Structure 1
Amino acid sequence: MFHRMRRRAKEPSEAQRQFAEAFARMQNQVPEGFGVPPAELEPTEPAALVDDFLPPELRVPSHDQLDGKMMPWKQPLVLDGEMVACAECEAYRDWLILSTSDQIWLRCRAGHQQQETRLDTAWYNRNSGPADSTHATFEDCLRHLGH
């Protein structure tokens, strides 16, 4: 019985035979247009320019057009297992976190500011939500955030 199985396995199947015949027929054929340089394209008129941008009042400034960004941080800020406190008044919650020129600054409710070197712009971007507004001056932004 095993002898018969081995004998059948040595003979190619019908599908294998058909593939071998088709391969032999196509052996020396080259597709049409292969190796021929492409035909020259005719010059066309340039497309009409359409102003498809938003109107100026709806455009959001890009990050390089802004002097900085800020967000409120109501809860205590814990870095490296230590709660951050204001160096002057020792407040430890209700911060404004400012991101400007690749630096992070903390501003307490009393208006004291201190640079926080343990934070970076990547941390700010991970923890801030989308901007809800832009302001022309720093004071306008402070008023908007309730400081």
Structure 2
Amino acid sequence: MFHRIRRRAKKPSEAQRRSTELHAQLQGQVPPGIGVPAPEPQSVEPAAIVDDFLPPELRVPSHDQVEGKMMPWKQPLVLDGEMATCAECGAYRDWLILSTRGEIWLRCRAGHQQQETRIDTAWFNRHSRPADATHATFEDGLRHLGY
């Protein structure tokens, strides 16, 4: 049985023969465009300058134009295994978290504020949602969030 397989393998198949012939035909050919100099670039007229910015009423201020950001945090805030509580009234939920000048501040419902050093602006950015409004004053922002 193995003798028959080896004997058949010695002769090239029809597909191998056609492939060899095609390879021999294409051996000396060069693809079109090779060796031909590239055409000179044509002069292009400059495009008209268009003001593609949004109108002023639709623009959102950049981070350096905003004094700070705030977000509500209704559930208890657990940091490093401890629940954050207000130093003055003992509140432990319904926080307003403020991010300003690289610092994080917590504000309880009673209006007491305390700096929180266990969280940073990266934490704030991960947990906050996109801004739904901008406000001219801090008090306007508090009213908007119901504080």
Tell me the TM-score normalized by structure 1.
0.85
Q: What corresponds to 1:16 in structure 2?
A: 16
Deviations 1:38-70 (A, max 9, x none): 222121211112233321111222333322211
Shift of residue 106, structure 1, vs aligned partner: 1.2
Deviations 1:2-52 (A, max 9, x none): 221233234333223322222222223322332444222121211112233
- Structure 1 pair 34/107, CA: closer, same or farther in 2 (3 Å)? same
Distance 1:97 1:121 in 2: 11
Q: What corresponds to 2:27 in structure 1?
A: 27
Deviations 1:99-119 (A, max 9, x none): 223332211122222222222
Distance 1:52 1:107 in 2: 41
Distance 1:13 1:119 in 2: 74
Aligned-partner residue type, residue 7 of structure 1: R
Distance 2:68 2:32 in 1: 61
1:90 aligns with 2:93: no
Deviates more, 1:80-89 or 1:115-124: 115-124
Deviations 1:87-144 (A, max 9, x none): 2222111111112233322111222222222222232222212211011121211121
- Structure 1 pair 38/78, CA: closer, same or farther in 2 (3 Å)? same
| Aligned counterparts, 1:1-147, within 5 A | 1-147=1-147
Aligned-partner residue type, residue 130 of structure 1: P
SS in 1 for 2:70: strand
SS in 1 for 2:104: strand
Q: Structure 1: give runs of 5+ residues left out of the alignment.
A: none
SS in 2 for 1:141: helix
Q: How many aligned positions are there?
A: 147
Q: Structure 2: give runs of 5+ residues left out of the alignment.
A: none
SS in 1 for 2:143: helix
SS in 2 for 1:106: strand
Aligned-partner residue type, residue 15 of structure 2: A
Distance 2:10 2:120 in 1: 69
